[in-house]
Amino acid sequence: MQIVLTQPRGFCAGVTRAIEIVERAIELHGTPVYVFHEIVHNPWVVDDLRLRGAVFVNDLAEVPTDAVLVFSAHGVSNAVVAQADRLGLLTIDATCPLVSKVHLQAQRFVRQGHTLLMIGHAGHEEVVGTMGRVDAPVHLVSVVADVAHLDVPAHTPLAYVTQTTLSLDDTREIIAALKARFPRIVGPEVDGICYATQNRQIAVRRLAAQVDLVLVVGARNSSNSNRLREVAERCGVPAHLVQDEHDLKAEWLLGAPRVGVTAGASTPEVLVQRVVDALQSHTAGERLPIVHLAGAREDVSFRLPPGLTAPNTAALAHG
């Protein structure tokens, strides 16, 4: 048996930035610091920050007046921003800059007079936030079949944007269907899917070609992690999403001499190592060889919001 690890895997720049924003907010303002929704989709990360003093809420009514509130990496709607202002909250925006880029694209298309389509998953925080960033109706397209059911008048100027964590293959199919029905539609092709999502999907395709089983370490509600599992399955390899080592099942390993391991963009490396250690424990003391596949090098980093590095931010915030 052999363990094969992909590269890249785990945290992307947007996730690293979002977690650091919460950590810095706690350092500067003290506890509690409130966070609207999970800062990123990973329970280990959320629980760790909760132990440090972060309080995660899904309704701003749960946040005391004048408290510090962090918007999650997935972004929020204009309505949420306005409500936070009415409540007098000190807000810090941890929206991934690549999600913010999609917000700007959507707003630009609407200003130009286009009717906007959003390619994404219904109910996902990023989709809700993006659709709520424009003051116009937005049509949601989640699967190819939705294209035929779009109720859009003929000759309507159309544009689309995409959720950043989608499957490349699924998104290409949806865009092709949109162009077939609406030849003049404009949009970013698959460029709206973030670099980290693309890199990890390309890496898992290469991984699937060399292993008998793929394990994706990631949260069950993580869009990009679920897409990695789907990509591996499309390559004809059994694949399972595991949140940590406790989700492993011994029967998966039967007849799988080469096990591939990757991780979603919101998964800390410590969980990957726990899964690897658990795999090692199935060998009755024999140490399994670990192969590290080469992959895209990622050196992307994003700046923190203004004020988070200033030594007097907390004093200013509290007068």
- Single-letter amino acid code for the residue at 118: M
Find, among 65, 7, 18, the residue nearest to 40 by Cα.
18
150 has a pLDDT exceeding 70:
yes
Domain assignment of residue 188, yes or no: no
232 has a pLDDT exceeding 60:
yes
Q: What is the mean pLDDT of residues 303-308?
A: 92
- Residue 249: CB atoms within 10 A of its CB come to 9
Last residue of a domain, one of 181, 206, 221: 181
250 has a pLDDT exceeding 70:
yes
Read off the pLDDT band of 23 (50, 70, 90): very high
75: alpha, beta or left, given left = phi > 0 and alpha = psi -120 to 50? left
| Whether residue 199 is found in the same domain as residue 288 | yes
CATH number of the domain where residue 35 is located: 3.40.50.11270
| Torsion over CA: 159, 167, 266, 61 (sign) | positive
Q: Name the active-site residue from 20, 27, 62, 126.
A: 126
| Whether residue 244 is found in the same domain as residue 218 | yes
Angle, CA 37 vertex, CA 33 and CA 40 arms, to 5°: 95
CATH number of the domain where residue 158 is located: 3.40.1010.20
| Whether residue 172 is found in the same domain as residue 111 | yes
Residue with tokens 């109910």: 123
| Whether residue 199 is found in the same domain as residue 165 | no
The per-residue pLDDT for 284 is: 66
What's the domain range around 221? 2-11+195-292
Percent of the chain with pLDDT over 70: 96
Read off the pLDDT band of 318 (50, 70, 90): very low
Domain assignment of residue 212, yes or no: yes
d(CA 218, CA 221): 8
Domain assignment of residue 190, yes or no: no
| Whether residue 138 is found in the same domain as residue 77 | no
Token reading at 224: 């990009």
315 has a pLDDT exceeding 70:
no
For the whole model, what pTM was predicted? 0.93
| Whether residue 153 is found in the same domain as residue 82 | no
Percent of the chain with pLDDT over 90: 91
Domain assignment of residue 205, yes or no: yes
Total tally of structural domains belonging to the chain: 3
| Whether residue 102 is found in the same domain as residue 112 | yes
286 has a pLDDT exceeding 80:
no
312 has a pLDDT exceeding 80:
no
Lowest mean pLDDT among 23-32, 197-206, 214-223, 284-293: 284-293
148 has a pLDDT exceeding 60:
yes
The per-residue pLDDT for 285 is: 65
Domain assignment of residue 166, yes or no: yes
Q: What is the mean pLDDT of residues 26-55?
A: 97
Domain assignment of residue 126, yes or no: yes
124 has a pLDDT exceeding 70:
yes
Last residue of a domain, one of 157, 181, 205: 181
Domain assignment of residue 105, yes or no: yes
| Whether residue 225 is found in the same domain as residue 261 | yes
Domain assignment of residue 152, yes or no: yes
Q: Is 189 a catalytic residue?
A: no
The per-residue pLDDT for 13 is: 98
| Whether residue 142 is found in the same domain as residue 83 | no
98 has a pLDDT exceeding 50:
yes
168 has a pLDDT exceeding 90:
yes
Find, among 241, 208, 209, the residue nearest to 227 by Cα.
241
Read off the pLDDT band of 154 (50, 70, 90): confident
Q: What is the mean pLDDT of residues 229-234?
A: 98
| Whether residue 200 is found in the same domain as residue 287 | yes
Q: What is the mean pLDDT of residues 179-195?
A: 95
Q: Which residues contact 90 (CB under 8 A, 6 or more apart)?
A: 29, 66, 67, 68, 69, 317
